Amino acid sequence: MAFLNGPRLLDWASSPPYLQFNKFVLTGYRPACTVQECLRSLFYLHNELGNIYTHVLYIMCFIVVLCLDKPGSQRLLQWKKWLHYLAQSSPHSRLSVYHFFLHGGGGEGGQPVYPVCPTLSILLLCLTNSLGAMPIIYCSLLCYPTTRHIALLGYTLLSSYAIFCAVTAQSNVTRLQSFAGQAFFRFLFFFLRWYDTGYGSPTSLRNFLIMDALALLGGIINVARIPERWKPGKFDYWFNSHQIMHVLVVGSILHLHWGVVDDLLWIGKYQCPPE
């Protein structure tokens, strides 16, 4: 990719205080941008470029995957299919805009819009984490409608509390801990699937375990600021912790998609045992 000549980039000490959240990324900060200048920043090198394009990478991958899945998609249950698609596509399309306009906001730069950005980012990630599990719970308890309704309600309440904790968290560590309850809830259903094949598609469990493993690994790497912590300034533009997390999250959500598609297709074939 050929890059344009951009404006003079700032170092960490010269960047606005609200952008100094990773002290190991020392250079490459865009100056305050207008909307037009944000658009131009898609074509010159700065330290947000990788974050923007890794979200775009996910959107492109998801479009390709949906096209490949299209022959079987007519057999999916409609509301669960569209709930799943919303959980899959909404966060990354909006998070790419978040990184795109991170330094934008008119004459004063990004500060007027920045306070909204982290909250929006967290809410969108919570959307995937919360809505993405709903089809898993539904399919796991397909033959137990009363328990299924209670479990879906319980997960909704738990997710609401997790969103509140994540949005109000004062650090990346406490924010990561906010999702522990949801992860434990999901693992209860993963155990049911491992214990008895009547709780969802037998082929989907592997995808769900990989999904959570990749998401957890990405979160830990982002919190630990690895590898830039080891060599500050060497990973300012590429391969820093946030970009690595993005790539791992792409893999995580794709595995969620493959697992949920297996489950929804399984519903069309599976017959619940008579009571």
**What's the Cα-to-Cα distance from 141 to each of 19, 149, 196, 198, rounded to whole Å?**
45, 9, 12, 9
Phi then psi for residue 10, to 5 deg, are -100, 155
Task: Give the DSSP per-residue string, 74-107.
Answer: TTS-HHHHHHHHHHHHHHHHHHHHHHHTTTBSGG
Is 47 in contact with 138 (CB distance < 8 Å)? Answer: no
Q: Flag whether 55 is marked binding.
A: no
d(CA 180, CA 174): 10
Q: What is the DSSP letter of 111?
A: T
Q: Flag whether 242 is marked binding.
A: yes
Compute how many other C-beta atoms are within 10 angstroms of the C-beta atom of residue 196.
9
H helices of the chain, in order, are 35-40, 49-73, 78-100, 116-131, 134-140, 145-168, 172-177, 180-195, 204-224, 241-267
Buried b / exposed e along 2-14 (16+ C-beta atoms within 10 A): eeeebeebbebee
Q: What is the DSSP letter of 199?
A: S
Q: What is the DSSP letter of 21?
A: S
Is 122 in contact with 175 (CB distance < 8 Å)? Answer: yes
What does the block give as tokens for 251?
């893999």
What residue numbers does the annotated binding site cover?
Answer: 99, 242, 246
What residue numbers does the annotated binding site for Zn(2+) cover?
Answer: 99, 242, 246
